[in-house]
Structure 1
């Protein structure tokens, strides 16, 4: 019998995780966009249809539509949660030890709080398989640590990750491919506007084989956000400001160094 300390925050005992085949798990990893759209369309059209047929007041139609949308949102959330769990268990099937660690994490009150935080991040993201895989990777990194003693650190890291766009996370995870560049203007190292972001975007785009002007502009906007968030900066021989024609090396800040291990 387990220790009472292993109970969930509401005092109930954790439910056993049923054994499932690899095929069963893989069957629900992908969450097609049409499933999500269909859930909302079915809920809304049904409510409106009933309202027309029954000739009920507009207020009742809105109420029914709202209830239908809430049911659809709950359905989508559960599908995302299932996909996240499936991806975690698929990744953990490599060894009995890995599967045991994951089961222990999900049965632990501290672990469940961290899982719920990741679930909340996923709730705010599009139902893309890539997002599920990315967040499952983040969770896997947490599972492999002493997550109780590192609880506050994990919570902080997840709060930062949740505030970043997928493109921002991709740029951070590719920090090993950041290259020095020559500045084209005068600007302060921690200022995320103007030539700093533009120069980096051009350099990074070249490194990644991206030349489309719209894509470069998008990288620039994302880099401005990363700099404003204190996750990256420029390094040069001038600490106060960077002069035109100087060689600038983009680097992670301490905060950036803390986040990167979770996403790489």
Structure 2
């Protein structure tokens, strides 16, 4: 498949699936299921009915199932290839020299630990729809890991960082990478243990953070709030009381460990 088509698939996945569904429709039109078979399946609504009638592997129902599965496999492969291409394209775009980046990537892939880490990154991509924000973070992680060179010695460290990245939404990763611009927040009711704020503060943080970023879209605001709450609950960031009755958020050691990978 040519590069332009892969880029289109990665950036317009919904349109690609909608267009591809027409080919599925045309394939299914060639598969004929009798009215009696339809009525039996609809009436019973069980897999057992399909199996008892021998329809799952043979006959029109089996043909329909095979048609759908084959179509899905083809489409999934196209989308997977598109995401891999975008990841590597972004990796090379972040490199200072193409030839050096290419040799470093080759050395990474032929190393057992490096190859394992690379495939871990690919699995994270495959488990998510194409997402430009996520691709940016993972291409940064790929560059950081490759540039570290000592894949055997740093394997557990890299593996741990990728596991943390996998836990979080792309939006949450972006908020972490933006930690230097976090604004102080005013909390009306505060529960604290020493200077550390133990009550929820994600709502106030989201409000001030979105104002700072000029974000007014309600849906994006809610996604950011969800991500901030996620980061607070999973102990990636925490808040401390400061001067002038203001609270200040900062990364925990777990959050700090991710900065080299996603910045």
Q: Of residues 85, 92, 98 in structure 2, which corresponds to 1:82?
A: 85
**Aligned mates of 1:72, 1:254 — CA distance in 2:** 41
Q: TM-score, normalised by structure 1?
A: 0.76
Match of 2:47 in 1: none
Whether contact under 8 Å (1:92, 1:99) holds in the other structure is no
Q: Taking structure 2 as the reference length, what is the TM-score of the superposition?
A: 0.76
- Specify which structure has the higher proportion of helix: 2
CA distance in 2, matches of 1:39, 1:114: 34
Pairs aligned (count): 233
> Is the Cα–Cα contact under 8 Å of residues 230 and 255 in structure 1 kept in the other structure?
yes
Match of 1:222 in 2: 227
Q: Is the 8 A contact 2:238 2:250 kept in 1?
A: yes
Q: What aligned pairs does 1:66-215 form with structure 2 within 5 A after superposition?
A: 66-92=69-95, 94-145=97-148, 146-188=150-192, 189=196, 193=200, 196-215=201-220
Mapped to 1, the partners of 2:11 and 2:184 lie a distance apart of 40
Distance of aligned partners of 1:44 and 1:257 in 2 relative to their CA distance in 1, 3 Å threshold:
same
2:197 touches 2:241 (CA, 8 Å); kept in 1?
no
Q: C-alpha distance in 1, partners of 2:218/2:189? A: 20
> Rg bigger for which structure?
2
In the aligned structure 2, how far is the partner of 1:119 from the partner of 1:36?
21
Residue 252 of structure 2 is matched in structure 1 by 253
Structure 2: tracts of 5 or more residues without a match: 36-58
- Cα RMSD (Å) of the superposition? 3.0
In 2, Cα distance between equivalents of 1:137 and 1:60:
44
SS for the counterpart of 1:201 is helix
Superposition deviation, residue 216 in structure 1: 3.3
Per-residue CA distance 1:93-139 (angstroms, 9 max, x = gap): 72533332222112212111111111111112222444333321210
Specify whether residues 92 and 99 from structure 1 end up closer, same or farther in structure 2 by C-alpha distance, changes over 3 A only: farther
